[in-house]
Amino acid sequence: MQRFLDLADFERTEVKDLLGLAARLQKKPDPHALAGKVLGLLFMNPSLRTLASFQSGMMRLGGSVFVITPGQGTWQLETRSGAVMNGASAEHIKEAVPVMASYCDALGVRMFAEGRNLQADINETQFKMIADLCEKPLINLESAVNHPCQALADWYTMDELDVPERGKFVLSWVNHPRALPLAVPSATVHMAALRGMEVVVLRPDGYALPDAVMDKARAAAKASGGSVTETTDRAAALKGARVIYAKEWGSPQHYGDVEAESRMREYLNDWCVKDSWFKNTAEDCHLMHCLPVRRNVAVDDEVLDSARSVVIQEAFNRMVVQMAVLYRLLRNA
Amino acid sequence: MQRFLDLADFERTEVKDLLGLAARLQKKPDPHALAGKVLGLLFMNPSLRTLASFQSGMMRLGGSVFVITPGQGTWQLETRSGAVMNGASAEHIKEAVPVMASYCDALGVRMFAEGRNLQADINETQFKMIADLCEKPLINLESAVNHPCQALADWYTMDELDVPERGKFVLSWVNHPRALPLAVPSATVHMAALRGMEVVVLRPDGYALPDAVMDKARAAAKASGGSVTETTDRAAALKGARVIYAKEWGSPQHYGDVEAESRMREYLNDWCVKDSWFKNTAEDCHLMHCLPVRRNVAVDDEVLDSARSVVIQEAFNRMVVQMAVLYRLLRNA
Amino acid sequence: MQRFLDLADFERTEVKDLLGLAARLQKKPDPHALAGKVLGLLFMNPSLRTLASFQSGMMRLGGSVFVITPGQGTWQLETRSGAVMNGASAEHIKEAVPVMASYCDALGVRMFAEGRNLQADINETQFKMIADLCEKPLINLESAVNHPCQALADWYTMDELDVPERGKFVLSWVNHPRALPLAVPSATVHMAALRGMEVVVLRPDGYALPDAVMDKARAAAKASGGSVTETTDRAAALKGARVIYAKEWGSPQHYGDVEAESRMREYLNDWCVKDSWFKNTAEDCHLMHCLPVRRNVAVDDEVLDSARSVVIQEAFNRMVVQMAVLYRLLRNA
């Protein structure tokens, strides 16, 4: 394995193999596996889980980590090609990325969507620039429309919970004070489809995921024997669900138009997961969320504080699966 | 030892035993004792000594550390129960703390007083929420009214300096541009009392420490054969002192009322430790302070730059005693 | 070796010996050399390469690192002697530096020029205070008029590239949106002179380096058989050059006067390195720059993206030579 950028770069069997490695390393730790190896982490955006879990995971394998956070004690980075750099950014990623890569054995990069041009973000224009600049093993710590580490952890979590591979997986839009990127919903719908599940995307009018995202998930479903549909009908969607995966995202219809998008969301306060959502789900239906979650806006306290919520387990599994990713990238390197 | 939250959770003999372990580890390092262990540090407030000394101490025992600083590259954290999270905070401590705890073998948390409601802060309302959320060994890196690592380091320092256990210990209020929390004075008066010293709290009118703080210290003094009194009479207080421990704190009378508190302090510029304060102390009386100290506001250059000052030694001993705490929490785990 | 503060503290043969150690460690890593050692890094100013390369280098030698960045989760530090500290800075370097030094086995400190008084900066008034406060091995991570780690890496890079020791080295002023410190140009002109090169400082009127800087370089040249001259004549300067070393710095004539300095630079947009600059240089003339570089302001894309640019190699070599510095400071300690 040379890079971990998108779950779609791997066959279903390869993903299962990676999950198997994660399980083995969890059962039988290998604390010197990556002795002498250095992981570099570049965070263009905030993080808690990714920052902590990659450090802890790398250190538990005997390796070391350094972190660079532009704007926090480090220069702001320019990303535009051909820019005349007479503004706030002192350094271009064309220098920063190769330099950081030269110091480490693997590089992880977080770079959220720009949120201005939907097509550019769907094309991963920015992250592809990063990838082209990095000659070392590279890990996607969340890009414009992807978050493969989260997707892998969520798959692992469902396996732990014995959620059937053919079970009903409802990705439900939930509310948030502002438009969030498409990274997690896009990665999630694809992951659940690749796992072979009956995936339903439940969202209000105006919040349909882009065709490119849905098409990619449908292709994965086809190969895995699953299905992907979408609806605004909450009752129908939730009936028989094994998992409600709550996630906030901005309306692709008003991509980059903060005001118009914000007006749409005013009327959607009802999209906060409550106990009542589980009335007709499977009895042991789980609430999943990638965190951070805004309590009582996206998901109610009564759900997050109940046994249905597996959000802490998902977060812990970030470390577990990332250790397998690091192992694959660096152990055989 | 499962937690290190308050010196008052331990018997006097247990504290002495911990100090003995610190001395042994200082004399005879054990650089692989915590190999493979990971310490997580969560700083809700700024730090220099705690941040540096816990990292260095953990690494000197062979362990690893990751640091999370909300607002500095990480989401701001919400602490209020039941909050509708539509503001600046993206994540609740109900998620953040268990998640961080799941990545590490021991968690250290710094969370200063809110400074609004004295009783809530004395009750450690916020830190108790954290403690309830953390299933791993937990270390108090300074809470609303406690700072056990500082207290332990100060005890160790006095032992090194051969300050008699029955010696006179003057905790003196000193000035500062704004009201500071009660954490260090509360921990200090209790520590000196538990050590068995003749403790005098010297402070201007309006700056008496809360009854709860004094009562706790008096109970410790009673058990240890020491005493705790308070006064506004500087000359009487300093007479024969073996230690002047300078510390800034806000008036409990005007807790949370910045303006009223600030007006009181205008007339207290005289509360800056000078050479003249040592006129009638014991000859070898030491100046102690937990740092950071505002030179020429709280303590004069002439004192800080003299041989009386042991502030650097105190700070170094933070690392020394914390290594013993980490050892106890993680070695036998 | 007790300190690494200035290349001028070493004989030419000592520098070459250090470069030889760097080459040996690069060829044959020594991953346990500094096991158990702790490096502390204090950044009073932003950093990317220094922050990442010192961490990575120290970890590759088996050691550990902690980082303190005042203002980023840590108190702001006061540097003025005798200050009445009732402002924004909560701690004085008189405490912070000895405390940090007490936690580590070697301390690295970055402290840019104040940029108010040229003579004070040339005298390294601030960094000398730091040095006087630190009893541990100390590394200059860039001070007012020095950057020895960069200079050492650049020398190493030229050796790798087989740039002749007697070759022509042109340090050329280039433009920047604001006045930058004299640290890198001062260190660079001295380094190239000490290497024995034919050094030409090319700069517009008003941007002559201070006499103290030029005199120091000339003294080094004299000892090494090189030369140091300066000119405003670009064509003459570049003719036959083996290296164009581009660097931004503020006019010493208007030191500390941002407005006057800024007016001078308005007419200097032509000072951005382009392909055409290499018309009469040696055929294999290299473009060097310490980074970060403002593309299309200081150096054009066409040069930075060409094979002439060795800026990534220089940056990588920061780690390589710093490992030798750390080894010397800590291995024999």
CB within 8 Å of C108: residues ≥ 6 apart: C39, C40, C41, C42, C50, C54, C138, C139, C140, C141
Average pLDDT over residues A198-203: 98
The pLDDT of residue C332: 67
What is the per-residue pLDDT across C189-232, written as a single tens digit (0 to 9) for each?
999 999 999 999 999 999 999 999 999 999 999 999 999 999 99
Give the number of beta-carbon pairs within 8 Å between B and C: 93
ipTM over 0.90: yes
Spell out which residues of chain C touch residue B57, defining contact as CB-CB under 8 Å.
103
Residue owning tokens 């070697």: C106
Beta bridge partners of B231: B202
Q: Which burial class, exposed, middle or buried, applies to B1 when counting CB atoms under 10 A from its CB (0-12, 13-18, 19+)? A: middle
Spell out which residues of chain C touch residue B52, defining contact as CB-CB under 8 Å.
40, 66, 68, 99-100, 103
Is residue A14 within a helix (H) or strand (E), and if so which, with residue range?
A: helix A12-27
Cα–Cα distance measured from residue A102 to residue C157, given in angstroms and rounded to the nearest whole number: 15
Domain spanning C3-146+315-331, CATH class: alpha beta
Strands annotated E in B97-251: 106-110, 138-140, 168-173, 198-202, 227-231, 243-247
Q: Which burial class, exposed, middle or buried, applies to C21 when counting CB atoms under 10 A from its CB (0-12, 13-18, 19+)? A: middle
Contact A100 C291 (CB under 8 A): no
Residue of B nearest to A180 (CA): B90
Residue B302 in contact with residue B5, Cβ under 8 Å?
no
Cα–Cα distance measured from residue C199 to residue C102, given in angstroms and rounded to the nearest whole number: 41
What is the per-residue pLDDT across C104-123, written as a single tens digit (0 to 9) for each?
999 999 999 999 999 999 99
Interface test with B, best of C84, C95, C132, C330 (most B CBs within 10 A): C95
**DSSP single-letter state for residue A138:** E
Is residue B76 within a helix (H) or strand (E), and if so which, with residue range?
A: none
CB within 8 Å of A181: residues ≥ 6 apart: A112, A113, A115, A121, A144, A145, A249, A250
Interface test with B, best of C32, C64, C79 (most B CBs within 10 A): C64
Cα–Cα distance measured from residue B121 to residue B138, given in angstroms and rounded to the nearest whole number: 19
> How does C122-143 read in b/e, with b if 16+ C-beta sit within 10 Å?
bebbbbebbbebbebbbbbbbb
**DSSP single-letter state for residue C81:** T
How crowded is the C-beta side of C76, counted as CA atoms within 13 Å?
7
CB within 8 Å of A78: residues ≥ 6 apart: A85, A87, A89, A91, A92, A93, C295
How crowded is the C-beta side of A97, counted as CA atoms within 13 Å?
26
Longest distance between any two alpha carbons in chain A, whole Å: 60
Would you mind telling me the total number of residues written for chain C in this entry?
333
What is the per-residue pLDDT across A281-304, written as a single tens digit (0 to 9) for each?
999 999 999 999 999 999 999 999
Q: In sequence order, what DSSP letters do the residues of B24-84 get, joined into one string?
A: HHHHS--TTTTTT-EEEEEESS--SHHHHHHHHHHHHTT-EEEEE-BTTTB--EE-STT--
What is the per-residue pLDDT across B187-216, written as a single tens digit (0 to 9) for each?
999 999 999 999 999 999 999 999 999 999
Residue B18 pLDDT greater than 70, yes or no: yes
Average pLDDT over residues C254-262: 93
Cα–Cα distance measured from residue A146 to residue A122, given in angstroms and rounded to the nearest whole number: 9
What is the per-residue pLDDT across A87-118, written as a single tens digit (0 to 9) for each?
999 999 999 999 999 999 999 999 999 999 99
What's the angle, vertex CA A101, arms to CA A104 and CA C288, rounded to 5? Answer: 120
What is the per-residue pLDDT across B62-77, written as a single tens digit (0 to 9) for each?
999 999 999 888 889 9
Dihedral sign from CA coordinates of C250, C253, C258, C264 = negative
Residue C333 pLDDT greater than 90, yes or no: no
- Taking the domains of chain A in order of start, what are their residue ranges? 3-146+318-331, 162-309
Same fold, C3-146+315-331 and C162-309: yes
Q: Which one, of C211, C189, C192, C193, lies nearest residue C201 by Cα?
A: C189
Residue A290 in contact with residue A70, Cβ under 8 Å?
no
What is the per-residue pLDDT across B136-166, written as a single tens digit (0 to 9) for each?
999 999 999 999 999 999 999 999 999 999 9
**DSSP single-letter state for residue A60:** H
Using 50, 70 and 90 to split pLDDT, how confident is the model at C71? confident
- Per the prediction, chain B carries an average pLDDT of 97
Q: Which two tokens stand for residue B52?
A: 């540096």
CA distances from A261 to A68, A143, A145, A265, A295 (A): 33, 21, 18, 7, 21
Average pLDDT over residues C146-159: 98
- The one-letter amino acid at B319: M
Cα–Cα distance measured from residue C304 to residue B156, given in angstroms and rounded to the nearest whole number: 57
Residue of B nearest to A316 (CA): B102
Residue of B nearest to A292 (CA): B91
Residue B51's SS3 state is: helix
What's the angle, vertex CA C104, arms to CA B298 and CA C138, rounded to 5? Answer: 90
Residue A11 pLDDT greater than 70, yes or no: yes
Beta bridge partners of C146: C143
Would you mind telling me the total number of residues written for chain B in this entry?
333
CATH superfamily placement of domain A3-146+318-331: Aspartate/ornithine carbamoyltransferase (3.40.50.1370)
Å from B142 to nearest chain A CA? 21
Å from C73 to nearest chain B CA? 5
Residue A307 pLDDT greater than 60, yes or no: yes
Contact B48 C36 (CB under 8 A): no
Residue C96 pLDDT greater than 90, yes or no: yes
**From the list C38, C84, C99, which residue is nearest B291 (CB)?**
C99
CA distances from B199 to B147, B158, B270, B286, C24 (A): 18, 14, 22, 15, 60
Average pLDDT over residues C18-31: 98
**From the list B74, B83, B102, which residue is nearest A46 (CB)?**
B74
Cα–Cα distance measured from residue B322 to residue B58, given in angstroms and rounded to the nearest whole number: 9
Would you mind telling me the total number of residues written for chain A in this entry?
333
Residue B76 in contact with residue B90, Cβ under 8 Å?
yes
Cα–Cα distance measured from residue C104 to residue B68, given in angstroms and rounded to the nearest whole number: 21
Residue B163 in contact with residue B243, Cβ under 8 Å?
yes
What Rg do the C-alpha atoms of chain B give, in angstroms?
20
Residue B213's SS3 state is: helix
Q: Which one, of B269, B268, B296, lies nearest residue B205 by Cα?
A: B268
Q: Which burial class, exposed, middle or buried, applies to B82 when counting CB atoms under 10 A from its CB (0-12, 13-18, 19+)? A: exposed
The pLDDT of residue C239: 98
- Per the prediction, chain C carries an average pLDDT of 97
Contact C103 B56 (CB under 8 A): yes
Å from C134 to nearest chain B CA? 12
Residue B31 in contact with residue B62, Cβ under 8 Å?
yes
Average pLDDT over residues B175-182: 95
In this complex, the chains that touch C, judged by 3 or more CB pairs closer than 8 A, are A, B
Cα–Cα distance measured from residue C232 to residue C202, given in angstroms and rounded to the nearest whole number: 6
Å from B5 to nearest chain A CA? 23
Give the number of beta-carbon pairs within 8 Å between A and C: 94
- Between strands B243-247 and A198-202, the pairing is unpaired
Q: How far apart are the first and last CA of chain B?
A: 9
Cα–Cα distance measured from residue C22 to residue C28, given in angstroms and rounded to the nearest whole number: 10
Q: Which two tokens stand for residue A60?
A: 């538990």
CA distances from C245 to A194, C230, C267 (A): 53, 14, 21
Beta bridge partners of A4: A139
Contact C48 A96 (CB under 8 A): yes
Q: Which two tokens stand for residue C136?
A: 């541990």
Cα–Cα distance measured from residue C222 to residue A24, given in angstroms and rounded to the nearest whole number: 65
How crowded is the C-beta side of C223, counted as CA atoms within 13 Å?
16
The pLDDT of residue B71: 86
Using 50, 70 and 90 to split pLDDT, how confident is the model at B245? very high
The pLDDT of residue C184: 98
Contact A315 B66 (CB under 8 A): no
The pLDDT of residue C138: 98
Q: Where are the alpha helices (DSSP H) in chain C?
A: 12-27, 49-60, 93-103, 118-122, 125-133, 148-160, 183-194, 211-224, 234-238, 258-265, 301-304, 311-331
Contact B43 C98 (CB under 8 A): no
The pLDDT of residue C72: 86
Using 50, 70 and 90 to split pLDDT, how confident is the model at A202? very high
Question: Interface of chain A against chain C, CB under 8 Å?
Answer: 35-36, 38, 40, 64, 66, 68, 70, 72-75, 78, 82-87, 90-92, 94-96, 98-100, 102-104
**From the list A59, A291, A294, which residue is nearest B99 (CB)?**
A291
Average pLDDT over residues C52-71: 97
Q: Which one, of C44, A314, A51, A322, lies nearest residue B70 by Cα?
A: A51
Contact A68 C59 (CB under 8 A): no
Interface test with C, best of A42, A43, A85 (most C CBs within 10 A): A85
**A162-309 adopts what CATH topology?**
Rossmann fold (3.40.50)
Contact C305 A94 (CB under 8 A): yes
At residue A248, φ and ψ (nearest 5 deg) are -95, 140
Q: Which two tokens stand for residue A92?
A: 């271009």
Beta bridge partners of A64: A38
Spell out which residues of chain A touch residue C294, defining contact as CB-CB under 8 Å.
85-86, 90
Residue A130 in contact with residue A97, Cβ under 8 Å?
yes
Using 50, 70 and 90 to split pLDDT, how confident is the model at C282? very high
Q: Which two tokens stand for residue C82?
A: 């005798």
